[in-house]
Amino acid sequence: MRIKSLNIENFTIFGKNQFNFSNGLNIVIGENDTGKSHLLRLLYSLIESNNIVAQQKDSNNGYLLQKTIPQKLIDIFKPEKLAHLIKNGQNKTHINIEFSEYNIPLNFTKKTKIQVNIDKNKVPARLIKQASLFIPTKEMLSFYDGFMSLYLTRQLPFDEIYYHLAKTLGLLVLKEISSPEKQILKSLETLLNGKLLLEKGRVYLLPQNGKKIEISLVAEGLRKIGTLSHLIANGSLNQNTILFWDEPESNLNPKLIRELAKVLVDLSSIGVQIFINTHSLFLIKEFEILREINTKIKYFSLGIEVENNLRVSQSEDIEDLDDLIILDENLDQSDRFMNKINYANH
């Protein structure tokens, strides 16, 4: 199952916006506070809700979704109450997620507490579980083990995404990995110059012909690469997965960003549907360098219009986007630099 589109109305910063996604790599760009993370988190909340209900194998799917979705939204967005997810000054939020197999249309109002409204006739009798993974900005390979018990027993300012990832990272590696993923795993292990090792809940990097190193002593950028490699090695990231990754470039040097771009394009080419958001023009250019006729890449640029409305432009062509603030800033910096140098020379 793949996510085909999302229609939202009055959700957090969004007014009335539609997103038509690619089956391959979906790249969300925009300034801070334009809803990039919200978009990824909303999609993830809806898939996770779908999965919880799918697992229950109950015929009353519509009713179960009505109760599961608000709880998921609370756990992932961490608002004090659901109503805080409705756009300021509005009373009602509408959301419709379209999967390749069916739609889930829902809405909720300021008065909604534990149950959103869903037209039950539109929800199919059987929901399909869809494996999904969300990698947040903060690296967590170095602390996932202790984090799980802490999350379950204490009030932490971390959302459920971190808990999900911690749980997934705790899975042991598979004995055999199927071939398309195996190639990608190999290239990641080349970057790491070794393999990850899980021993009594602790992660180590085992360099080729070397002594194991505690993961906390490995550079943070490499830990991110390690996270990806471990998720493939333990089978939780495979060709059927939908992958969300919040700012994958953070903590990576340009050389690693270049490799990361290749891994993401490779993953999308074996069938993984990917959603990332990024501030890195460098990463985007790498995607364009790697792009071939069959590569599925689509950009979504979010920008604020007058009266605080959000403008979304979407295209497979980077040059078609209305807002591309990372490029504007790059060119402006280039101007400021030239002016400074020229001024200094006179």
Partner 1 sequence: MQIIEGNLIFNFDCDAIKFDDSTFYRKHFSKMTNGIKAVDILAVNQEIGYLIEIKDYTDPNTKILTMNELIEAIINKVISTLAAILPMKINVNNSVGERQIAKDFLIANQIKVIVHIELPPQRRTLKQSNWDLSNLQIQLGRRLRAIDAHPKVVSKDKLQNLPWIVA
What is d(CA 131, CA 242) in angstroms, rounded to the nearest whole number?
A: 6
Q: Which of 60, 91, 308, 330 binds partner 1 (CB under 8 A)?
A: 330
| # residues contacting partner 1 (CB under 8 A) | 20
Does 55 contact partner 1 by CB under 8 A?
A: no
Q: How many Cβ atoms sit within 10 Å of the Cβ of residue 175?
A: 5
Sheet holding 213-214, edge to edge: 194-199, 202-207, 213-214
- Nearest approach in angstroms of CB 346 to partner 1 is 12
Of the candidates 166, 265, 321, 325, which one interacts with partner 1 according to CB under 8 A? 321
Candidate list 125, 342, 343, 344; residue touching partner 1; CB under 8 A: 342
Strand partners, 300: 28, 314
Of 39, 14, 44, the C-alpha closest to 27 is 39
Q: How far is the CB of 30 from partner 1 (least distance, A)?
A: 15
- Which one, 307 or 319, has the nearer CB to partner 1? 319
Verify binding: residue 320, partner 1, rule CB under 8 A.
yes
Stretch that binds partner 1, among 47-55, 241-249, 257-265, 323-331 (CB under 8 A): 323-331
Shortest reach from residue 344's CB to partner 1, in Å? 11
Residue type, 14: F
Question: CB of residue 316 vs partner 1: minimum separation in angstroms?
Answer: 12
Distance CA 103, CA 93 (A): 17
Report the residue from 331, 343, 344, 346 that binds partner 1 according to the rule CB under 8 A. 331
Minimum Å distance from CB 32 to partner 1? 21
Q: Which stretch binds partner 1 (CB under 8 A): 109-117, 162-170, 230-238, 330-338?
A: 330-338
Tokens representing 248 are 């994958």
- Among the candidate windows 1-9, 120-128, 236-244, 338-346, which touches partner 1 by CB under 8 A? 338-346
Stretch in the footprint of partner 1 (CB under 8 A) among 132-140, 225-233, 253-261, 327-335: 327-335
By CB under 8 A, what part of segment 270-289 binds partner 1? 281, 285
**Is residue 341 part of the contact set for partner 1 (CB under 8 A)?**
yes
Can residue 324 be called a binding residue for partner 1 (CB under 8 A)? yes
Residues 6 or more apart whose Cβ sits within 8 Å of residue 94? 7, 8, 9, 10, 105, 106, 107
In the complex, the smallest distance separating the C-beta of residue 320 from partner 1, rounded to whole angstroms, is 7
Cβ pair 161, 45 in contact under 8 A: no
From the CA atom positions of the chain, what is the Rg in Å? Answer: 21
Site string for partner 1, 288-307 (x = CB under 8 A): --------------------
Residue in 80, 104, 77, 110 with CA at minimum distance from that of residue 92: 110
Q: Which amino acid is residue 288, in one-letter code? A: E
By the rule CB under 8 A, 327 interacts with partner 1: yes
Site stretch for partner 1 (CB under 8 A), options 125-133, 146-154, 228-236, 332-340: 332-340
Q: Does 155 bind partner 1 (CB under 8 A)?
A: no
156 belongs to the binding site for partner 1 (CB under 8 A): no
Based on the shown chain and the rule CB under 8 A, indicate whether residue 172 belongs to the binding site for partner 1: no
The DSSP secondary structure of 291-333, one letter per residue, reads: --TT--EEEEEEEE-GGG-EEEEEESSGGG-S--HHHHHHHHH
Query: Could you say whether residue 253 binds partner 1 (CB under 8 A)?
Result: no
DSSP 24-80: SEEEEEE-TTSSHHHHHHHHHHHHHHHHHHHHHT-S-HHHHHHHHHHHHHHHHH--S
Under 8 Å between Cβ of 257 and 249: yes
- Residue 166 per-residue DSSP state: H
Helix (H, G, I), strand (E, B) or coil at 261: helix
Contacts with partner 1, residue ranges (CB under 8 A): 281, 285, 317-321, 324, 327-328, 330-332, 334-335, 337-339, 341-342
